[in-house]
A and B are shown apart, each in its own frame.
Chain A
Amino acid sequence: GQQVMQIPQYQHVQEGEDFTTYCNSSTTLSNIQWYKQRPGGHPVFLIQLVKSGEVKKQKRLTFQFGEAKKNSSLHITATQTTDVGTYFCAGQSRSNDYKLSFGAGTTVTVRA
């Protein structure tokens, strides 16, 4: 079945530095969504990518969908303490349109 893998599991970042988290699927995806969960909170939608090679930006966050639609990345520049949390990707595949499967997440901590 469809599996979405995320790396790294943990990311410890110095404030002001950049980092990237990656999401890889075993199957071709129809689209991919990214969510952020703050400590003690619930996941909140960030963005959805649909097209092959698509790149979208939200301020310091850059999201990319791979050409083959089997991987995605989230790059954060100039990390701030407000970026602390767990970032999840969620993929949907053609084989089961209604199923929304999440990766294990990347938990980000920031050193001030």
Chain B
Amino acid sequence: DVKVTQSSRYLVKRTGEKVFLECVQDMDHENMFWYRQDPGLGLRLIYFSYDVKMKEKGDIPEGYSVSREKKERFSLILESASTNQTSMYLCASSSLQGLGQILNTEAFFGQGTRLTVV
């Protein structure tokens, strides 16, 4: 059974703290993604990575950074947490398909981390 595992289901942090959200996948996928989900805004892409040590900014990267030292692990870092970063964070992974054009296959999501910054 394929699996994407996020380290915490619920997290409460104080403003200004450095926060690490960890995600591990066991499918040997090339691509990994971090999204945040807020009511009415859907899934917004923060960062993604298509290879070890590679990272690309998504649509809302401000206030976040990422690390991918190993293929199976993708970490999201909040350098100095703020209350507007209170949200549900979802990690996903996918493999690549295609010859002439590389596309993502279906993405598998973790259970999510609900982060509250107080």
Contact = CB atoms under 8 A, between A and B. Distances in A.
A3 to B, nearest CB: 9
A42 B32 CA distance: 16
Nearest to A33: B106
Q: Assign chain A's interface to a size class.
A: 20 to 34
Contact of B59 (A33, A50, A101): A101
Contacts of B58: 99, 101
Interface residues of B, number: 30
B101 A100 contact: no
Interface stretch (A11-19, A75-83, A87-95): A87-95
A100 B92 CA distance: 10
29 contacts: A30-B101, A33-B104, A42-B90, A43-B43, A43-B92, A43-B107, A44-B109, A45-B106, A48-B106, A90-B43, A97-B101, A98-B31, A98-B56, A98-B96, A98-B104, A99-B45, A99-B48, A99-B58, A100-B31, A100-B45, A100-B104, A100-B107, A101-B45, A101-B58, A101-B59, A102-B44, A104-B40, A104-B41, A105-B43
